[in-house]
Amino acid sequence: MAQRVLVVEDEEDIAFPLVRTLEREGYDVAWVDTGQRALDDVAATPTELVILDLGLPDIDGLEVCKRAREAGFTGGIMIVTSRAGELDRVVGLDTGADDYLSKPFGLAELQARVRALLRRLNVPGRDETHGDPDGLHVDVAARRVYASGTEVALTGKEFDVLSILVANRDKVVSRGRLMADVWDENWYGSTKTLDVTIGRLRQKLEGAGVGEKVVAVRGVGFRLESVPA
């Protein structure tokens, strides 16, 4: 079954080329022109990726991103916008986006970003799980995380970071490795995005009552510390 991509863009002259390009790539593509329609769509239809413009006529795209995550959407979100400042980029990632593409952009670059993001969200050939069913449990194949049997909703980036930390439990994972493994060669943004992702991940794990802690090792990286016996 083709992967489903939702394009959220209110300008037809921008949306139509995106839709045609993605359809030629073999994706099942839908298009909506408002934030509310986007939220209704992802709530009703399984979707692997949302390409989200920020300048929507009804709801700001950052708010759409935030509401989608709060409602439990775990697919990829790629923000496409003319807001190119680092602060806007960090805020976008802080609200749950997985990638950020500034206008104007080439369709070839968009295609590459989409392929890279979907590869990270759908890792083939992995069926292993990590963790204790009575504590933190990471199902890599299903890309789902559970805390004492209750699912914890994570974004694609949060899941990727956590799965690496869990696989290396009690060992330090360098910032460089996390950036290389979770973000790809197309990423040219600030490494502060890693700190933003780690911060959101900590909040969600703590909120779910997970005893294991994501600890920063100054100047090196991060470590997931097991619960003391």
- Asked, for residue 44, whether it belongs to a domain, the answer is yes
Look-up of token digits 């045609």:
20
Assign 19 a pLDDT band (cuts: 50, 70, 90).
very high
Three-state SS at 108: helix
Residues 158 and 91 in one domain: no
Closest to 216 in 3D by CA, of 160, 163, 161:
161
Residues 8 and 98 in one domain: yes
Residues 6 and 89 in one domain: yes
Strand runs labelled E in the chain: 4-8, 28-32, 49-53, 76-81, 99-102, 129-131, 136-139, 144-147, 150-152, 173-174, 213-217, 221-225
Instruction: Categorise residue 94: left if φ over 0, alpha if ψ from -120 to 50, beta otherwise.
Output: alpha
Residues 21 and 98 in one domain: yes
Q: What pLDDT score does 42 carry?
A: 94
109 neighbors 82 (Cβ within 8 angstroms): no
Please provide the average confidence, as pLDDT, over all residues in the chain. Answer: 82
Cα distance between residue 95 and residue 196, in whole Å = 10
Q: What pLDDT score does 47 carry?
A: 92
Q: What pLDDT score does 116 carry?
A: 79
Residues 114 and 158 in one domain: no
Residue range 218-227: mean pLDDT, rounded: 87
Q: Which of 3-7, 103-107, 173-177 has the lowest mean pLDDT?
A: 103-107
pTM reported for the whole predicted model: 0.58
Q: Which of 25-29, 120-124, 156-160 has the lowest mean pLDDT?
A: 120-124
Cα distance between residue 33 and residue 36, in whole Å = 9
Cα distance between residue 223 and residue 116, in whole Å = 26
186: domain CATH number is: 1.10.10.10
Residues 109 and 160 in one domain: no
Residues 17 and 98 in one domain: yes
Domains of the chain: total: 2
Which of 65, 98, 119 is the C-terminal boundary of a domain?
119
Residue range of the domain that includes 209: 154-224
More reliable by pLDDT, 192 or 203: 203
Residues 205 and 100 in one domain: no
Structure-token pair, residue 13: 């002259």
Residues 79 and 163 in one domain: no
Q: What pLDDT score does 129 carry?
A: 46
Look-up of token digits 């992995």:
126
182 neighbors 158 (Cβ within 8 angstroms): no
Cα-trace Rg, the chain? 18
Q: What is the share, in percent, of the chain residues with pLDDT greater than 90?
A: 25
Q: What pLDDT score does 31 carry?
A: 96
Residues 111 and 179 in one domain: no
Residues 27 and 89 in one domain: yes
- Asked, for residue 37, whether it belongs to a domain, the answer is yes
